[in-house]
Structure 1
Amino acid sequence: MDATKAGQDSLRPWIASYPEGIVWDSPIDDTPVHEQVLAACAKNPGALALDFLGGKTTFGELGEKILAFAGALQSQYGVTKGTRVALMLPNTPFYPIAYYGVLRAGGTVVNCNPLYTVPELSHITANAGADIMVTLDLQQIYEKGEALQKAGHVKKLIVAHFPNALPLVKKLLFSIAKRKDLARPAYGATIAAFEKLIERGDKPAAATIDPHKDIAVQQYTGGTTGIPKGALLSHANIAANVSQIDKWGDGLFYAPSKVIAVLPFFHIFAMTVCMNVPLGNGIPVIMLPRFELKALLDVFARTRANVLPAVPTLLNALARADHVTARHLESLQVAISGGAALPDEVRHAFAKKSGALLAEGYGLTEASPVVCCAALRKPGRPMSIGLPLPGTDLRFVDVDSGNVVGIGENGELQVKGPQVMSGYYQNPEADKEAFMQGWLRTGDVGHMDADGYVFLVDRIKDLIICSGFNVYPRTIEEALMTHDAVEEVNVIGVPDEYRGEAPVAYVKLKPGQSASESDLKTFLKDKLNKIEMPKDIIFKDALPKTLIGKLSKKELREEYAQRRSAEK
């Protein structure tokens, strides 16, 4: 090794901890993902690509539909480079067809969560300038698309017929028993049937893509903390992260693997890990429209799938359900936890149910999204989010001074790499806040150990300052999760006349278990210092979650404020 490389590696302690065969500076493939998927479709057309509740789509069929949809977008809607097309779809075969079709036509995907309210969707579509929206004829989703169109936020709707995603018997049963759940779109000049567009068989014209300049996905973020901002992810950003994950997987995402997609594709984690990575490698994606425990167990039994990207609440549900046994999960080899911090107690509880390797990863929308991950072929370091992916650089910066901190010292995690966005759409002020000296600011506080393993402490915005001392909600949450009666916990900071701020814990108990506030405070006495001890412990039957199942603090802060107001 030459002196220059040795010096660079000393600044990247994680390289020495990389699993054998994985190289940090190996070339990153920035071929646009739609080209990779279409190549996989051509290479093995008879192989299974998509499984939706038993409805099957081969790679050959997928490729034909992507091209036909791209052709229709160009010929019927004038979609060209830079045209924003909104997708408001749950996990169904329509989503990947539409997603890759938009990219092949040269357009930019704007993901819309079908569970968002019409005002939230109005902001996203209006801000993005997305005149076309692809959606579904399930009434509760379609009525939002219809409202957006009537308000002028989108001009044209393309509507897929939900029963067409199902295998024949289920399709017939749904059409009879669930007919009332289906909308009746008034097809015409402004509303088109998804299937009719594909039946046209239009051939798409070539779309010249500059992977590093042209935007593949405009992904909106920040909806739970403020006005959503459109992160501009280029074709190269998206493809780079796929390449990085592929290298990190060390063969995990190749045949005969099967990936379960229960997380929604409109979320960046699932879009990349559950869809782009497996389909680009020619392996099947087993889709569920939403998380239901029975449906997930049925998928394991029917498909013998072996890879499960998940969020901690999903893993907790599997671990805590008494009727779920090791036999239900025997095909599972690797579970990848992302989207939120994985509590140590959930890790241990899951290990009692499954022998699968449980790897925690970390990312953010602005990084396409994966930044770090535990090894996927051998156990990682407990409580760590793993090591930076190939081609990814990290540093930690003191929250107050802005100076880079040393090994083991807490600071804000900042990122550089080919997966990092160019900025936010038409939002220069947000760009200034998002970057420091060319490094993406994550807003997460943590540190790196001497071997390069990354540990997160909490979000900067969730930090509670009590009497001048920093209190991290995660510390309190981890301590409470070790109590036998506690199933879920979420800690927020609230105004306090004496200390400035104080922690308050919201707790959901396990079914059939009981514990009082004094019980839990007594339990915490030797686990937390006096400043960290919650001011109040409030019990709830259910804790609020975001739309991907992540525990949410926003609603709890609002609830506590209302409670305080009512007490005055």
Structure 2
Amino acid sequence: MINAEEAWRTAYRHPGVWDEPFLPVSMIELFEQSARDHPQAPLLDFMGRRYSYGEVSDGVNRVACGLRKLGYGPGDRIGLFLPNVPHYVAAYYGILKLGGTVVNFSPLYTVDELAEQVADSGTKLLFTISATALLPTALKVLEKSGLERLVVGSVAGGLPATKSLLYRLFKGKEVTPRPADPRVLAFSKLITNEGSCEMPQLDPEHDVALIQYTGGTTGTPKGAVLTHQNLSANARQVARLDPEMGRTTDRILGVLPFFHVFANTCVLNRTVVTGGEIVMLPRFNAKQALAELRRTRPRSLPGVPTMYQALLDAPGMKPSDFSSLKFCISGGAPLPQQLKENFEGITGARIIEGYGLSESSGVVSANPYVGMNKPGTIGQPLAATRVRLVDKEDPKRPPPEGEPGEIVVSGPQIMKGYWNRPDADASVFVDDHWLRTGDVGLIDEDGYVRIVDRLKDMIAVGGFKVFPSQIEAVLYRNPAVKECLVLGLPDPYHGELPRAYVTLNEDSTASGPELCLWLNGHLGKHERVSQVVVRESLPKTMIGKLSRKDLYAEVTAE
């Protein structure tokens, strides 16, 4: 049997050493160190308006003091119901400086979803902006939950002067006026102070920085409790993956949503650690992202596979648009090999496939930026991170030799536990705080990890276990297929049978029956699908990755 830990310790391909220590540091210490080191350097570029580290630091201090003046303090849960706007960064670090706990809420949440998580987390105050897509929802939650206050930023307030004026003139319908309610405070009023007040001393290893809601391994939303040290360690771990860190201008295109743990670590926190600049977009739009690539010439672009495909498909795309890019971290979903080859061939940038969870502050492992990438793997563990396999049925013992097992991880970035869910903690941790991921994988002789599937996604076909991702990998080899998902659907004889759903590339005329015949010719008998269904689109999650759960809900509803 391969000793996986020995493999990556002796053949570690990331910069530095595997057993590098990450001493306890608060998120505020990291932020303020960068602000002191280069106060005039740009931290944010929002649609052409640039904010220096010094300006953002002043805003952070004013948010913290404004919240304190309202009576909030250490341990209070304060929510962010925001897209990627400058308000997010000031509020995020301001809450942390206060000693409060950030709770991220997706702007895609319905009133009921938002109210439920506000209640579960005990969130007292919520930051949002005056966009019609957000403020009416937040106002309804204010009425039906234990929320005490809203702080509302101006949509136009973060833009350059000319764009701000145009926004006010032509996009007024996209803005909801802030009501005259004492519980609803303007962001500008919150920060009307000197930014100088007494702040608490933080304990990085025990003070909770973030509650990040996740489906976890059971599909039920739970709040992953992440300490300052969890987040700061992961930000430093990710920053150290870059062999050129500190020797080049670090500009990153931030199109992933900050409210998601992937962007929170790989775009926001990691870039603050490096003293780099974030080119922010409120949401991903391929045309707009290409325009920002041309205007700002960023060096990296973290994303999900569907995002990279959308950029290649965008009308007017030219290979020269990507000439500044060197590295693109891909996560959130498996990266099809053909997409990796197409993107790298056209752009000249390298896509680095990695892996992580909300429960791990964002990142567990990645392929090296330079050197051996193994397609279809999630690379080697980050520094100070341990990965091993356990039996799929009994996590207290190893899997049979040579067989896949459930991936369990340990490291400084692993969450403290779930918010008010000791029952869930008992089932998600094994041994001495090793996190069960719910993902099934293999580890090769070089310590590279390959995910086979998720435990909950395995399809039981007449007593055989079938992995949807293996069928999807075969489908992606067909030049007609653009995107695909495989579901296990009830069958009276076999229990379940796989069924594939695909979208096609533009020049393809392939039919479902043709694809089904081709696919089943490349599969084992027990893996064969009952049908291939061609669709115009497949459902995606908030960060743009294909959503098996949503597709299953659509299909069963039909």
For residues 211 and 281 of structure 1, do their structure 2 counterparts lie closer, same or farther at Cα, with a shift above 3 Å needed?
same
Distance 1:245 1:429 in 2: 31
1:111-150 pair list within 5 angstroms: 111-150=104-143
Structure 2 CA distance, aligned partners of 1:124 and 1:20? 38
Q: Would you say 1:434 and 2:428 are equivalent positions?
A: yes
Q: Could you say if the C-alpha distance between residues 472 and 20 of structure 1 is closer, same or farther in structure 2, counting changes exceeding 3 Å?
A: closer
Match of 2:182 in 1: 189
Q: 402, 414, 417: which one pairs with 1:420? A: 414
**Correspondence 1:540-555 to 2 at 5 A:** 540-555=535-550
Equivalent position amino acid for 1:421 in 2? M
2:206 alignment partner, one of 213, 216, 222:
213
Picking from 371, 377, 386, the partner of 1:378 is: 371
Give the conservation status (yes or no) of the 8 Å contact 1:338–1:360.
yes
Cα distance in structure 2, aligned partners of 1:87 and 1:357: 33
Which deviates the most, 477-486 or 172-181?
477-486
Q: Is 1:73 matched with 2:60?
A: no
Aligned partner of 2:522 in structure 1 is: 527
| Corresponding residue number in structure 1 for 2:352 | 359
Task: State the distance in 2 between where 1:261 and 1:533 align.
Answer: 40
Residue 562 (1) aligns with residue 557 (2)? yes
Verify: 1:537 aligned to 2:525, yes or no: no
CA deviations on 1:503-543 (whole Å, 9 max, x unpaired) are 01111112242111221123224421122121111111110
2:343 to 347, 350, 355: 350
Conservation of the 8 A alpha-carbon contact between 1:105 and 1:205: no
**CA 212–406 in structure 1, closer or farther in 2 if over 3 Å, else same:** farther
Aligned equivalents of 2:374, 2:264: Cα separation in 1 = 27
Structure 2: segments with no counterpart, 5+ residues: none
Answer yes or no: is the 8 Å Cα contact 2:287–2:314 preserved in 1. no
Identity, in percent, stands at: 39
Match among 431, 445, 448 for residue 450 of structure 1 = 445
- 1:321 is displaced (CA, Å) by 4.2
CA shift at 1:12, angstroms?
3.1
1:51 matched to which residue of 2? 45
How far apart, CA to CA, are the structure 2 residues paired with 1:171 and 1:484?
Answer: 45
Out of 159-168 and 36-45, give the one that drifted further: 36-45
> In structure 2, what is the Cα distance between the partners aligned to 1:254 and 1:140?
41
Residue equivalent to 2:10? 16
Q: Deviations over 1:544-565 (max 9, x none)?
A: 01111111112222232233xx
User: For each residue in 1:295-322, what CA deviation from the matched residue of structure 2 results, as whole angstroms up to 9, or x when unmatched?
Assistant: 1111110111011110011012223446
The counterpart of 1:464, out of the listed 456, 459, 465, is 459
Distance 1:53 1:350 in 2: 25
Shift of the alpha carbon at 1:71?
0.8
In the alignment, the residues of structure 1 paired with residue 21 and residue 282 of structure 2 have an alpha-carbon distance, to the nearest angstrom, of: 36
Q: Residue in 2 aligned with 1:6? A: none
Q: Which amino acid aligns with 1:524?
A: L
- The change in CA–CA distance for 1:36 and 1:458 in structure 2 (over 3 A counts) is same
- Alignment partner of 1:276 is 2:265: no
Q: Would the aligned equivalents of 2:26 and 2:203 in 1 still touch at CA under 8 Å? A: no
Tell me: CA distance 1:351–1:137, structure 2 relative to 1, closer, same or farther (3 Å).
same
Aligned partner of 1:88 in structure 2 is 81
Report Cα offsets for 1:334-359 as digits up to 9, x if no partner.
01001111122221221221211111
Number of aligned pairs?
A: 555
C-alpha separation between the residues in 1 aligned to 2:32 and 2:313?
Answer: 41
CA distance in 1, matches of 2:5, 2:447: 10
* Secondary structure of the structure 1 residue equivalent to 2:503: strand
Q: How does 1:303-382 map to 2 (within 5 A)?
A: 303-321=296-314, 323-382=316-375
2:465 and 2:219 mapped to 1: Cα distance? 24
Equivalent residue letter for 1:142: L
| TM-score for both structures, normalised by structure 1 | 0.94
Q: Is the 8 A contact 2:255 2:280 kept in 1?
A: yes
* Structure 2 partner of 1:3: none
TM-score w.r.t. length of structure 2: 0.96
- Pairwise CA distance, 1:10: 7.5
The whole-number CA distance in structure 2 between the counterparts of 1:27 and 1:267 is 26
Of stretches 357-366 and 430-439 in structure 1, the one that deviates more from structure 2 is 430-439
Alpha carbons of 1:291 and 1:83: their partners in 2 closer, same or farther (altered >3 Å)?
same
Q: Paired residue for 1:32, among 4, 26, 36? A: 26
Distance of aligned partners of 1:507 and 1:224 in 2 relative to their CA distance in 1, 3 Å threshold: farther
Shift of 1:204: 3.1
**Any stretches of 5+ residues in structure 1 without a counterpart?**
1-8, 564-568
Distance 1:525 1:130, change over 3 A: closer
